[in-house]
Amino acid sequence: IFETKFAKLIGSKYAVGVNSGTDAIKLSLKALNIKNGDEVITAANTFVATVGAITEIGAKPIFVDCDNTFCMNISELEKKITKKTKAIVPVHFTGYMTNMPKLLRLAKKYNIPIIEDACQSILANINNKNAGTWGDFGAFSLHPLKNINVWSDGGIITTNKKKFYDKLI
């Protein structure tokens, strides 16, 4: 029931509860079949868990500097894309969001999936579209220090694609 309510709150079709925001990122990467040696682009300014999720599955994090919101500077992203790039993990930071309209254009151009690290940005939005609904996946944390939390730790993955939801459940 919580997942259904969370999906409705965020504006996604599906939500899956997991044990942490870290695992929300890691399981999303696994659902995309990211493997050892693949490159995953992410923001240089992030919590260690973002990088940990990438490296735990054997992928290599590729860092992009941040703009004045402390989120990924999309203007610096394209030069980091290689043939080994298999995903982009923008990190929405303290309620600020990565420039998702610009990021979506680039991701579409290169056919690269997006996993939004929205762990610190529940209900942040651009043009009334919430964090966690722009990319292929949204990864959320329910850590006790987050604005929606549980007593220990928890996480949620959102997606609008049934094929990804089916892989996760």
SS3 label, residue 63:
strand
| Residue 107: CA count within 13 A, CB half-sphere | 23
For the purposes of burial, counting CB atoms within 10 Å of the CB of 95, is it exposed (0-12), middle (13-18) or buried (19 or more)? middle
146 catalytic? Reply is yes
Helical segments of the chain, H only: 2-10, 21-31, 48-56, 100-110, 162-168
Please identify which of the residues 146, 161, 162, 163 carries the catalytic annotation: 146
Contact 14, 44 (CB under 8 A): no
> Other C-beta atoms within 10 Å of 166: how many?
11
CB atoms within 10 A of CB 151: 7
Residues catalogued as catalytic: 146
